Amino acid sequence: MATTLDLPGVVAHESHGQRVLFVEKTTYLAAVTALYDAGFTMCVDLTAVDYLAHASRVVPDGVVAQRFEVVVNLLSLANRERVRLRVQVGDGESVASLFDVHPSTEAMEREVFDMFGVRFDGHPDLTRILMPEDWDGHPLRKDYAQGRIPVQFKGAAS
């Protein structure tokens, strides 16, 4: 099965023998739903990349590079095929949640929100998952200040 979609805003590409679909934010949920219907029923991974220092990276024609990229890896067990989706997201922008199509993305989207600050519209519980609720900032962003964080032991005398 060819993993091309007849949807506007989808640019097919190949990278290291794997099909890569660059999907616009506006068709992201529709593309994932169409892929699910085509047999890509397992979401293996959902993460993000901050390209702050690589704004001029090479992307296919028709794709406008943004600071963040949400990367989703889907698997079709029946067809023995993988497909990777790459969605460009600007700073302060959000994308649709995949929770209704792939409930397994609940924790992955929370992690991306926690570490990068990318919001997922329609997520049932978009709260921090790794950092404390009162933590300031998003540690995997390239503009996050590096520094030493003292280890805190709960209940230990300081």
- For residue 83, the domain's CATH number is 3.30.460.80
Domain containing 112: what range?
10-121
Is 40 a domain residue? yes
Taking a C-beta distance cutoff of 8 angstroms, is the pair 110, 46 a contact?
no
- Contact yes or no for 84/71 (Cβ under 8 A): yes
Residue 17 lies in a domain: yes
Asked whether 89 and 23 are in contact (CB, 8 A), the reply is no
In a domain, 147, yes or no: no
The answer to whether position 35 is within a domain reads yes
Whether 104 is in a domain gets the answer yes
Q: Using alpha carbons, select from 77, 126, 101 the residue that is nearest to residue 118.
A: 126
* Helices and strands of the chain, counted as H and E runs: 2, 7
For residue 62, tell me if it sits in a domain. Answer: yes
Confirm whether pTM is higher than 0.75.
yes
Q: Which residues pair with 49 in a beta bridge?
A: 69
Structure confidence at residue 1 (pLDDT) = 40
**DSSP 8-state class, residue 34:** H
Query: What is the torsional sign of CA 27, 141, 91, 130?
Result: positive
Instruction: State pLDDT tens for residues 99-134.
Output: 999 999 999 999 999 999 999 999 999 999 999 999
Q: Does 20 reside within a domain?
A: yes
